[in-house]
Structure 1
Amino acid sequence: MNFPAEEDFHRLLDALTLCVLLHDAETKAIVWANRAACEALGFTLAELLPLKAKDMTRPVPKYRREIGVGAMDRSITEGPQVYEWCYRSRNGADMLSEAIATYVPLRERAVVMVQFRDISVEDTLKQTLRRYESRLREFMQDLGEGVAVLTPTGEVEFVSESGRRVLGLEEGTPLGDLLDYCSEPDRERLLEQLANAPRIQPSAPQRYRIARRDGTPGSLRITCRRIEIENDLNGRLLHFRDVTDEVAVEDARRNEARLLEYAGRYNAMGEMATAIAHELSQPLAAVRNFIEGSIRRLAQPASIDDAVWGLRSADRQAEHAASIIKSVRDYIVKREASETHADLREVLAEVAYFIELRAREAGVTLTIEQAAQPLPVYVERVLIGQVVLNLAFNAIEALGEGTNERTNEGTNRSVASERRELRLVTQLRGKYAIVHVIDNGPGVPADAHGRLFDGFSSSKAGGNGIGLSLCKNIVTRHGGEIRAKPAQHGGLECSFSLPLAAALAA
């Protein structure tokens, strides 16, 4: 078998793009270099042979000749050595390199072969990445948002420092099972969110009430998506933000809204006190008359049947009075939020009794026109009923003599008693259920329609518009809209729309 000649080995080494220097194993002097090394350092082979480390190395302590010689010596006794070295070319350009020193006992002499390649670009990139990482850590230090990676089996592979702070975890403390932070009902929701995590974009955010590791309660807003990075990450990427303060503010606002809505109902009944008293006076007077008649019948012989009939009639009237009081109490009583599926026609029917009382007292003719088909909505029945009441009472007030102003800028024109009309109309329009409250009163100035529900724009003389603003708040919170416009035959038409409930509208 013929082995390649020495010249062939030189040709092979010269063909490499990797730089190669051969050093005498004992003196460490350069005895040969391939073409790539000569070109990288800017010297010919003849110029390289007499050079020492100080002639071709950056002059800093970490690149002293003793350090390089030490790496070569270790390669003789310990095997190949990998180290960082900075060569300096003939024109003064530095070349940061990864060098590998390998001991090779040749036939004529033992040498240390040093292979090196330029890693300046890689080092610059590493420094840039380290700088970005430091900045990112610094920027994320004060964030109220955490990042976590869950494996396909649900184990926590990574959690950011800001995430640890959000969850109340001290440094080095294991996160544990993420589900342990949630209440039982929220665990099911979180599992469903993780199972349905999309691949391209984050999932819709969901809120969860949690107990931090230190025991304090809190609220998180979580989004997630599926990640699949080959040979790196695989699982779910979670972003979670501390929204405890935000939730607390929203809860406080909701409580304030409930109190205001309750006050609105109480005020509405206060305004109707005269009508309610009149309505109660009729059955109470009948009760008294029936009882007095029964007493007289009992004093007469053979009149026991008439007395019994009178007492039973009195009992029926007492029940009627009790039902009136119960209707008022059920409406006024403070209730917690309770959204439910309902037919908007039934919501209107529930408050129609009070509107009829108020209209009768004011001499207003009330007409109710219900839609022929169901109007399924998902609402708080009491609140939407209050909107209908507020709009209807507002219209009746405007129709009454001496209280016709819709705003302080409005006219004082009164409406003749025979023309006082109020229409309540329910309607289905596309994907919305609508209630119209239409009167033939004096209306409002043309520039007032758009701001009628903005607060402090009253529909009554001396009013402050809080009732109408309350209507807007309630309707908007239910995903609907409220508006006002001139009625077709004079007066004002106020209407509000609510989205149909998909579960019942299908």
Structure 2
Amino acid sequence: MGVADDEIDDLSAREHSLEQALLGSILATVPDALIVIDMKGQIISFSAAAQRMFQYAESDVLGENISMLMPSPDRERHDGYINHYLGTGEKRIIGIGRLTSARRRDGSVFPIELSVGEVHDQGKRLFTGFIRDLTERQQAETRVADLQAELAHASRVTAMGTLASALAHELNQPLTAIANYLEAGRDMLDSDQPVDRELLREAMAESAAQALRAGEIIRSLREFIKRGETMRQPEPLRGLLAEGTALAFIGADSRGIDMDISVDRRVDEVFVNRVQLQQVIINLVRNAVDAMANSPARILRLSAAPAEDGRVEVVVSDSGPGLDPDMSRTLFTPFTTTKASGMGVGLSICQTIVEGHGGRIWAEPSQWGGAAFHFTLDAADGA
């Protein structure tokens, strides 16, 4: 029996060694980073892909708190997330996955897709995190989007030409009639003969009627365009702000930025079109990051709180040089910009989207001397 037991033990040891080698090989080649932490948030495993992604050697991070790989506000709040789960059992991330941001060794922030799992090992709880860097995927999507945008632009130019031609044709008749009636009235006033007041009154009445007809044509066109609006639905505001900020950091110099997202507890969901609202967030955050390029302190704050009439007010503020007073009147006017390579349409797009949601957008100085852009949205429960 002793020999047999030794053979079984030896076989088990070889199988265990093979399993460890196979697991090590998988972890060394899998493209997604794998990080394992304990209940205290301390890193106990850091895969090769994680080392490449975060620019840390495994020896640099073992035993350190996972928050070192997070930007604010998750960095300061992560231990609270773990304690909340251990105390309540409420799974906010585990088994769900989320789009968020991570922080490299050099301080740069980049967007990631995070999937968290839980493992029980000899009475201990361990948490595994698979992390995918979205930068390359987003860059590929951006290239495709650029091509699509060029095609869409060509299509819009054609459509606008057709629309302008049709609009000119429709408006030509009432405008011509107005001009004819006004010229006739002028000729009557210039004549040496007594003015036929009844005829003059008729000419003025016809001019007014034709002007109203032109207005109806334009109003009908606006109603036709409005019917093409995209659908809106309840969306979690905190998630939208986090995802939009993460996407805005792609290709931007995010080193040294002190970033925080603060959403009032009374604010849960907003009634929006997800893609359009993220476009607003991306534009405002990128503007803030660009504005702070030469600032000694780079502070970026996104906040949201209840406003009047069932609305929510969102604020994106920075510590940049602030707004030029001369540009304050034309801030949201298309093709107005201070950037050397800018088109000057970003804020105009933001205004169009926000007003299309029934809200308004405006700018004020921030508490750090930079700019603070405010905009309002419908709360989902009040929409």
Q: TM-score range by the shorter chain?
A: 0.3 to 0.5
Structure (1 or 2) with the greater helix fraction: 2
Larger radius of gyration: 1
TM-score (normalizing by structure 1)? 0.35
Q: Higher relative CO (CA 8 A, sep ≥ 6), structure 1 or 2?
A: 2
TM-score (normalizing by structure 2)? 0.44
